[in-house]
Amino acid sequence: MAIEKVETKEAFKSFIESVEAQEGYRKPVAFGICRVDRGQKNRDKILQAVFPLINWNENFGSAVVLIAALQESGETVDFTTTEQVFDVSDAVVINALAAFSPYLAEAKGDAHKNVQVIATLAGIAEAELLDDNFRIVFLFEDAAPQSVEAVYIKLYALSLGKAALRSVNLNGAFGILQNVAWFGNEPFELDWLRENEIELKLNGAYPEIESVDKFPRYLQHIIPADNTRILDSAKVRMGAQLHPGTTVMPGASYVNFNAGTTGAVMVEGRISSSAIVGPGSDVGGGASILGVLSGTNGNPVTIGENVLLGANSVTGIPLGDGCIVDAGIAILEGTKVAIGRSELEKIKEVNPFWDVKVEDENILKGVELAGKNGIHFRQNSMTGQIIAMRSRREVKLNAELH
């Protein structure tokens, strides 16, 4: 069967309503069409999935078109599952084009990008280059992913800012993704490299491997905002989220997946997975914000606005706005911090809902200071004791650099 050409936008609206009216129909949380890279030795291994466009809780009319195109092509779309992946066939493209017909002439630039994807695939099909490397992905729930394609659409959602950090279910993602050798945008199956090592090297064809990882680099898939700078592509992993204005310097910097910034931030240190840094903050050279697997007892760390993490400092607790952690010191949940009465009173002024008993000598654990505003963490150079006082200076980024 085939979808009859939809002539007008009014007819398109009626078409959408008729498909959505079928029993059990469910709008997808996410959907998109990708091109996959398969293993050079084992084609059943999907090494990565490249999406020119993803849809996350949006463009439900386009989802209807793809679902109808699959159904009319003989595929069964099971709305009771959490996700489904289909090959893109010539019939699917022809059906989708027929449904999108009223919008084909307008599908340029930023307009109707899902239509542009189908139109591009039509050209690929016409050149007889459409194969089983092109796939349609639907997520009907944000459940633990079951396929490489599902993992990638979620990583895209994070890196494109369509989904908030820590809001996406990536449980089991590491077990689904393959560990591959990356040469630019091309992944190589490790078993294939081992099997062909002699021939590749003797013929001068051995690839220049840049990394071996389950995740690609951010810049292999994402075009950042014009005022975002990443000075070394190896420093940001796919699935990271960088707010416009963020600068990631070379050296000791790194931004892991499901971590990133919510405003213009200077990054010269490590933002581990699940860590989030607020606007105007500066993660100093070699500083490390711990992730949920590295000393935070499973509690994700959020850094507030206008915070300065000094060079080679370590932070394992959330920090409120306007905090400073001096260079070279570690503030963890169990770190004992001394605060004098007068300084604690000043800190309480910017944390009015903080119910803490004030004494002449206050020794608090780092976890008790988690998320509080305006604290300057220091180390007594005579005794080595970690101390805290009310921060007396505002952290400002150089506007010319952001």
d(CA 119, CA 390) in angstroms, rounded, equals 60
Say which range, 10-14, 385-389, 398-402, has the weakest mean pLDDT: 398-402
- Give the separation between CA 46 and CA 147, rounded to whole angstroms: 9
Distance of CA 147 to the CA centre of its chain: 17
What DSSP letter does each residue of 175-213 carry, written as one string?
HHS--EEEETTEEEEHHHHHHHHHHHHHTT------EEE
- The mean-pLDDT minimum among 1-10, 139-148, 223-232, 389-398 falls in 389-398
The token pair that represents 269 in the structure block: 């240190």
pLDDT per position as a tens digit, 22-65 = 999 999 999 999 999 999 999 999 999 999 999 999 999 999 99
Q: Which two tokens stand for residue 270?
A: 């490590």
pLDDT score at 114: 98
Exposed (0-12), middle (13-18) or buried (19+): which is 89, by Cβ within 10 Å?
A: buried
Distance of CA 293 to the CA centre of its chain: 18
- Look at residue 134 and give its three-state secondary structure: strand
The pLDDT value given to residue 4: 93
pLDDT at 360: 73
Determine contact, residues 386/362, Cβ cutoff 8 Å: no
Question: Looking at the predicted structure, is the pLDDT value of residue 175 above 80?
Answer: yes
Catalytic residues: 268
Q: Which residues of 187-215 are buried (b: 16+ CB within 10 A; e: fewer)?
A: bbbbebbeebeeeeeeeeebeeeeeeebb
Q: What is the pLDDT of residue 401?
A: 57
- Domains in the chain, ordered, with CATH? 9-167 (3.30.70.2010), 183-213 (no CATH), 219-401 (2.160.10.10)
For residues 290 and 313, give the distance between their C-alpha atoms in angstroms, rounded to a whole number: 11
Dihedral Cα 16, 18, 24, 28, nearest 10 deg: 0
Do residues 310 and 328 lie in contact, with contact meaning Cβ atoms separated by under 8 Å? yes
Give the pLDDT confidence score for residue 356 in this predicted structure: 86
Instruction: Tokens for 143, please give them.
Output: 């459940």
How high is the pLDDT of residue 361? 79
pLDDT at 359: 80
Would the pLDDT of 333 be above 80? Answer: yes
pLDDT surpassing 80 at residue 100: yes
Q: Is the pLDDT of residue 395 over 70?
A: no
Q: Is the pLDDT of residue 297 over 80?
A: no
DSSP readout, 253-305? Answer: -EE-TT-EESS--EE-SEE-TT-EE-TT-EE-TT-EE--TTTTSTTPPPEE-S
Averaged pLDDT for residues 265-271? 98
Is the pLDDT score of 338 beyond 60?
Answer: yes
Mean of the per-residue pLDDT values for the chain?
A: 95
pLDDT digits (tens, 9 = 90+) for 150-167: 999 999 999 999 999 999
Residue of 265, 240, 264 whose CA lies nearest to 254 = 240
Rounded Cα–Cα distance for residues 134 and 121 (Å): 9
Does the pLDDT at position 218 exceed 90?
yes
| Residue 272 phi, psi dihedral angles, 5° rounding | -75, 165
CA distance between the termini of the chain: 55
**Average confidence (pLDDT) over 5-22:** 97
pLDDT at 141 over 80: yes
Lowest model confidence (mean pLDDT) among 114-123, 169-178, 233-242, 387-396: 387-396
The confidence band for 402, taking pLDDT boundaries of 50, 70 and 90, is low
